[in-house]
Amino acid sequence: MVLITEELVRKKSEHNERLISTLEEISLHQEDIEVIEHIQNWCRDLKILLLQSNLIGRLENLHKLKRLEYLNVAINNIERVENLEGCESLNKLDLTLNFIGELTSVESLCGNHNLRELVLIGNPCVDYPHYRDYVVATLPQLNSLDCAEITHSERLRALRELPKNRAIIVQKQTDQAIERDEQRIRVADQQSALAEHCAGIEDEEERIKAFWQAKSEHCPEIRTEIARQHRLGRERHETKSALDPPKRERNLFAPCGRPYNLNQGKLPFNFQDEADHYLLQLEVYRHLDTSLIDVDVQTNYTRVTVKKKIFQIAYNEEVKPDESTVQRSQITGHLMVKLQKLKVNELLTVKKSTAKSSGPPVVTGKNGGNQEEKLRGVVDISNICPPADLPDLI
């Protein structure tokens, strides 16, 4: 059972700097809350209270919220409307997808003169004959019921037929109350039998599978049990995660400080070494949002983080990070990183120029004229270097 604690309320009031005494709006949805408590004492100035998608079985402990304008308790286990007379400013009440069968309980809202919108969609009472006419006539202050505007002619007709419609409603809700009592007994027997069946299964996975495969009815008891099973499943998962060995952190640098080459995402890439720059082309995912890509250019390595996966490449020559550029193709989505070198590699420049020239070598004469000369014949290498004083070979 999840309780409404002060820590939970402060956590949900971060938009108000975690101050709860001046809080005007709070959302406590999907917390598996079963009982409404403490809110009226801690948050007297509340105007909007969102409690949808919980396990609340009863409307209570709200009468001190005099400024409350909007109350949302959709998708809960509420079976009747009650204890809202003190909410004087209540303007909209959302009770969608609950288990309200006692439709005459809406008469407790007659004193809420500021109530303009009421939503009861998905409750058993909406299937009663003349349901809408009865609610429209009982609550004349409403402007909208189940998201449909109430017309003046509709209200007049509903007021004329109110006594007759109320008698029909009372009979229908009595029948529904009898069915609900029978359902409680039937569901209790089913849950007891299922518990005995699961207790005889030793394997935990098979026991969980048996529970989820069992047939069940739509009622508050089943919703509560399903929520309990979900909670147990989360606890088991957290326990297993705590027992798992911690993942080994990947080292990005060697003990001497040299950066490692790393490609955690296994992204295809191309790295070119030019005379005055390096060119890195990284094939990141085409439709990936650019905000999920982080590029860090350093003097001796470049690191690209793509969806928390690291790509790191080191280079032999230092680069200028402030003159480097990073671009991304709008067509392919590939990342292009141009890294300007600190010093131009003259050797690569000579090789490049030599590869481009396809003619014979050119020799510069004494007079400055260019003379073409082709190397022909056999070269005698014996006189290139003078022989050292070496002993004779044996």
Mean pLDDT of 37-52: 94
Is there a contact between 22 and 6 (Cβ–Cβ < 8 Å)? no
Q: Using H for helix, E for strand and C for coil, what is the string for 139-185? A: CCCCCEECCEECCHHHHHHHHHCHHHHHHHHHHHHHHHHHHHHHHHH
pTM comes to 0.62
User: What is the pLDDT, as a whole number, of residue 325?
Assistant: 92
The whole-angstrom separation of Cα 199 and Cα 212 is 14
Is there a contact between 341 and 278 (Cβ–Cβ < 8 Å)? yes
The whole-angstrom separation of Cα 264 and Cα 342 is 29
| Residue 57 DSSP one-character state | -
Comparing C-alpha atoms, which of 111, 29, 179, 139 is closest to residue 119? 139
CA distances from 364 to 45, 263, 361, 367 (A): 95, 51, 10, 8
Is there a contact between 237 and 219 (Cβ–Cβ < 8 Å)? no
The whole-angstrom separation of Cα 128 and Cα 366 is 115
Asked which of 117-121, 258-262, 272-276, 349-353 is least confident by mean pLDDT, the reply is 349-353
194-230: per-residue pLDDT in tens?
989 888 888 888 888 888 888 889 999 999 999 998 8
Alpha-carbon 321 to chain mean position: 35
User: What is the pLDDT, as a whole number, of residue 251?
Assistant: 84
Amino acid at 174: T
Asked which of 13-27, 98-112, 244-258, 318-332 is least confident by mean pLDDT, the reply is 244-258
Please name each of the domains of the chain with its CATH number: 6-176 (3.80.10.10), 262-351 (2.60.40.790)
Asked which of 146-155, 282-291, 302-311, 360-369 is least confident by mean pLDDT, the reply is 360-369
Residue 255, Cβ density class (10 Å: 0-12 exposed, 13-18 middle, ≥19 buried) = exposed
CA distances from 30 to 4, 44, 54 (A): 12, 23, 5
Mean pLDDT score of the chain: 86
Is the confidence at residue 276, as pLDDT, over 50? yes
Q: Where are the alpha helices (DSSP H) in 15-110?
A: 39-42
Mean pLDDT of 115-144: 95
The whole-angstrom separation of Cα 251 and Cα 372 is 57
94-104: per-residue pLDDT in tens?
999 999 999 99
Query: Which of helix, strand or coil describes residue 312?
Result: strand
The whole-angstrom separation of Cα 159 and Cα 161 is 6
